[in-house]
Structure 1
Amino acid sequence: MLAAMPPPATTPAPPGDPSVRAHGDACPGTLRLHRADDGALARIRVPGGVLTADQADVLRELASGPGDGELHLTSRGNVQLRGLGPGSGGELVARMRESGLLPSERHERIRNVVASPLSGLDGRGERDIRPWLSALDALLCASDAAAGLSGRFLFALDDGRGDVDALGGDVTLRARSDGDAILRIGAEESVVRIPGAGAPQAALAAAEAFLDASPASGAWRVTDLPAGAGSLLDEVVRRLRPAGIRTTRTVAPVEPRGSAAPALGAVTGLRDMVALSVGLPLGRIGAGQWRTLTDIARHRGDGELRLTPWRGVVVPGVGREQAAELLDSLGAAGLIVGPRSPWTGVGACIGRPGCAKSLADVRAEAAAAMGPVGALPVYWSGCERRCGHPQGEWIDVVATPDGHRVARVRDGRRDAPVSIDDSPTALAAAVSAARGALG
């Protein structure tokens, strides 16, 4: 079945806005495809970004067969397949089931979970949150109520380093050094402290409490609730009490948005192992490049890939002595393997010709006007929706009917934009100047 996808809410709708749920949740998934100008689009949820090498092979084969030959990573660490031809939905669903990527058809679009990509690998986090990830996904798939979450609702599992805590999750778990966890709902500084073992159950309780509170307001996400998220914490405490889960109300400041992505290159790990961290130019990767990554994961690593919310991939468990050679091969394949790449920090929506709403081929424009190395991130958008834009501080380039607007974004606010006509030279100069303005 094909269904149009509504514009993502780059700015939350006003609390209580009756348009928030004026239509059904049409976010694309594996079972509901979105019709784009370049064919059908499937969005495959990958909780925590964790893929086995075998699952990665399945995605490559689907991208190479019914798809356009590329895999597109999203800002939630999920995968999109584009250019799917008519009648490809059945094959897609069958392969997803066989590979374990579709454990529950009722819950496939609500399995939106981001997790600290380097958790358990570099020794920096307070705990390895992989057990939380597995437990939460199982709880979500077993919950009849959770199936009512929208495809936009986001869980974030942070191992204590503050990376995904900064990504604006609806429900966030953050590990503490004493073994406890902090449960945050939305952007509230008032939080609940719970034992680490009860964290996944607490996250599910928070999501189900949100669902009970949302029908009257029509809210898709916590930020849409007219009364805010404060009252939900009291309800979570009440729901956890019968399970014997200790809860303590406390305050935890919200991390500034846009915390650092994993460093690119070889990330020092435990014992003699390292993780290879690479970026994907404009968040997309060809089937051949993907095979190179998967082969390294299977034969040189521990058989796993971790997709990051910053459109990168981490390959854990590589021998330290092999890292330099493997990074060289990945760089030669066109991936970003270090901070000195001109592609570092450059992002864009799909643009023309894939999106009918786009006013420009922003990916080609981004490639022609990247700006200085090591500068502020820049994100190119083909229209005002700004699909997939980053968090934190960045340069916002938006196509307009008359050219482009370039503005700096910080603390959620845009500086006064500079309007540029259709001159490629003027546009490249404006973007370069904006990215280099670090003061």
Structure 2
Amino acid sequence: MKSRPTSSPLRPSACPGLLRVVQALDGGICRIKLDGGSIRTDQALAVADAAERYAGGVIEATNRANLQIRGIGEQATALIDHMLAAELGPTTVAGDDVRNLMLSPAAGIDPQMLIDSRPLARQVLDCLQIHPRFHELSAKFAVQLDGGEALAMLEHPHDLWLSATQRNGELLFAFGFAGCPTDTPIAAVRLKDGHALVVAVLELFLELARPDQTRMRHLLAERSADSLLHLLAGRVPLISLDQWRRTATGLGLPVGTYPQLQEGFVYVGVMPPLGRLDPSMLRGAAYLAAEFADASLRLTPWQSLLLPNIRQADASLVSRRLQALGYLVDTHQPLTHLVACTGSAGCGKGLSDTKGDAQRLSVLRQGRHAQEQVHLSGCPRSCACAHTAPVTLLATRQGHYDLYFRDAALPGFGALQARNLTIEAAGALLDARPRSPLDA
């Protein structure tokens, strides 16, 4: 059995990790951070076993492409040791907090990718864990590495983002602070300088930020991006990049079968209802990946999972078997477009049973608006959705919600449309409204 990392103390934080089990109403929560969202089938089986043996049997796919186990009681130590033995732990204790690097779930297999981002991701993750200086970063401080894939979450804001682009035949990384790859970049670097850029930005942030400034946006509230760029230019060669912005490719929700870069192979994307799996669902997907693919699974920021490297001839059979396990396999199923936090069933801050309410809403939403994303949040923290959804239902009390529509000109959830609606009233209002840009 792999021994527990002991090189540095576990710091206090409200964020769960593998080594830090955080208490909730339904028991402890353990978050298993996956390198680039990938997990081997033997590791997935270990997660399923741990959830069944040492917890309440509830596994969650998160919006940062990780896994969580809920309902942990007195056997937290046994669960952690089980995960470490499966090589799902950090190199160092403090390194667990800072392994916050998001890739496309189709890294290395996406037909539209400009680069395979995985080798650089490995460098960055190793650096974050090994160097004690970076252990001072907040457990929420996050980096995104975008290889130009068609399948990419481009709405989640990150403290630092890098996006592959091409100029005059040369591949570069455009980059920016406290935002998304669809924002205007502040500069670019050559591919060979990508790792040096990440290191330089993190070091500069730690040098300049006060203890209360835990995120890049906090630092930018007092210092301009241009001033940071001037300091950064002394540490890594920068390139001006005019009139470039990353465009969304329109691939959308990764549920279904999609061709890979590798000829004759596809990946199959499925979604556990509202991001929750039981051990049998995870085991079943792992067995299918071992039988028909390369014995790996990939979690996504849409709280779903992919089975990569499946022969095209086997895709239909794999999809049917995943559906039999309880996964959603078709975007025409309304539940694929609903996101809900834990809610009052498991969280002390939740004002309503958001997951139960989402199930009810999915039954009501069978009309022409059913494929827009709706986010049910039990409180204003918006834990289940890192971006602003087209529609948000914010709980006010049990079974009642305020309704918001996303508006780029407004902060937070957007424009308030109605107050204190029941789920039935919210569903009727959503289906009755005129067609809008949200449906495009």
Q: What is the TM-score of this pair, normalised by structure 1?
A: 0.86
Give the equivalent residue in structure 2 for 1:328. 320
- Paired with 1:230 and 1:25, the residues of 2 have a C-alpha distance of 32
Q: Indicate whether 1:173 and 2:162 are aligned.
A: yes
Task: Look up the match of 1:207.
Answer: 202
Which stretch shifts more, 201-210 or 142-151?
201-210
Measured at CA, do residues 114 and 314 of structure 1 come closer, stay the same or move farther in structure 2, by a change above 3 Å? same
* Residues 363-412 of structure 1, C-alpha deviations (whole Å, 9 max, x = no match): 11110112246531001111222222252541110111382111111327
Structure 1 match to 2:427: 428
1:66 matches 2:51: no
Residue 154 (structure 1) aligns with: 142
- Structure 1 residue 26, shift from structure 2 partner: 2.8
DSSP-derived class of the 2:424 partner:
helix
Residue 27 of structure 1 aligns to a residue in which SS? coil
- Within a 5 Å distance, the mapping from 1:243-392 to structure 2 comes to 246-251=237-242, 261-269=252-260, 270-370=262-362, 371-372=365-366, 374-392=370-388
Which whole-Å CA distance do the structure 1 matches of 2:243 and 2:271 have between them?
31
1:352 to partner: Cα distance? 1.8
Mapped to 2, the partners of 1:84 and 1:412 lie a distance apart of 42
Q: Is the 8 A contact 1:266 1:274 kept in 2?
A: yes
Q: Return 425-434 or 271-280, whichever deviates more.
A: 425-434
User: Residues 90-129 of structure 1: matches in 2 within 5 Å?
Assistant: 90-102=77-89, 103-129=91-117
Q: Please tell me whether the aligned partners of residues 156 and 386 of structure 2 are also in contact (alpha carbons under 8 angstroms).
A: no
Match of 1:156, SS? strand
Letter in 1 for 2:120: W
Question: Between the two proteins, what is the percent identity of the paired residues?
Answer: 25
1:75 equivalent among 52, 63, 71: 63
Shift in Å, 1:289: 0.9
Aligned-pair RMSD on alpha carbons? 2.5
CA deviations on 1:326-360 (whole Å, 9 max, x unpaired) are 10111222212121112121010001220111111
Distance 1:330 1:288 in 2: 11
1:85, distance to aligned residue in structure 2 (A): 0.7
Contact 1:282–1:363 (Cα < 8 Å) also in 2: yes
Range with greater deviation from structure 2 (201-210 or 23-32): 23-32
Query: Which residue of structure 1 lines up, in the alignment, with residue 418 of structure 2?
Result: 418
The CA distance in 2 between the partners of 1:419 and 1:433, in whole Å, is 17
Residue type at the aligned position of 1:100: E
Which letter maps to 1:249?
Answer: S
- State the alpha-carbon separation in 2 of the partners of residues 64 and 261 from structure 1: 33
- C-alpha spacing 1:412/1:282, structure 2 compared with 1 (3 Å): farther
1:408 aligns with 2:397: no
| Aligned residue runs from structure 1 range 24-63, under 5 A | 25-63=13-51
How much has 1:285 moved relative to structure 2? 1.1
CA distance in 2, matches of 1:62, 1:332: 23
Distance 2:253 2:403 in 1: 27
**What letter corresponds to residue 266 of structure 1 in structure 2?**
T
Q: Distance in 2 between matches of 1:143 and 1:164?
A: 28
Tell me the alpha carbon deviations over residues 244-289 of structure 1, each in whole angstroms, 9 at most, x when there is no partner.
xx42133466658997545321111121111111122111111111
> 1:243 maps to what in 2?
none
Q: Do the aligned residues in 2 keep the contact of 1:258 with 1:391 (CA within 8 Å)?
A: no
C-alpha contact 2:160 2:178 (8 A) present in aligned 1: yes
Aligned length: 409
- Greater mean deviation of Cα atoms: 188-197 or 172-181: 188-197
User: What is the CA–CA distance in structure 2 between the aligned matches of 1:115 and 1:378, rounded to whole Å?
Assistant: 24
- How far residue 209 of structure 1 moved from its aligned partner, in angstroms, is 1.3
**Letter of the 1:92 counterpart:** L
Instruction: Check conservation: 2:45, 2:283, Cα contact below 8 A.
Output: yes
CA positional deviation for 1:165: 4.3
Q: What whole-Å deviation, never above 9, does each CA across 1:275-305 have from its counterpart, x for those lacking one?
A: 1111221111111111111111122111211
Aligned equivalents of 2:242, 2:15: Cα separation in 1: 34
Q: Secondary structure at the match of 2:335?
A: coil
TM-score (norm 2): 0.86
| 1:237 equivalent in alignment to 2:227 | no
Evaluate the alpha carbon distance shift between residue 321 and residue 147 of structure 1 in structure 2; reply closer, same or farther with a 3 A threshold: same
Partner of 2:5: none
Unaligned runs of 5+ in 1: 1-22, 241-245
Distance, in Å, in 2 between the alignment partners of 1:29 and 1:198 is: 30
CA drift at 1:28? 1.7
User: After alignment, is 178-187 or 28-37 more displaced?
Assistant: 178-187
- Asked if 1:196 corresponds to 2:185, the answer is no
Partner of 1:11: none
Structure 2: runs of 5 or more not aligned: 1-10
Match of 1:85 in 2: 73
Deviation for aligned residue 1:38: 0.3
Q: State the secondary structure of the residue aligned to 2:392.
A: strand
TM superposition shift of 1:65:
1.4
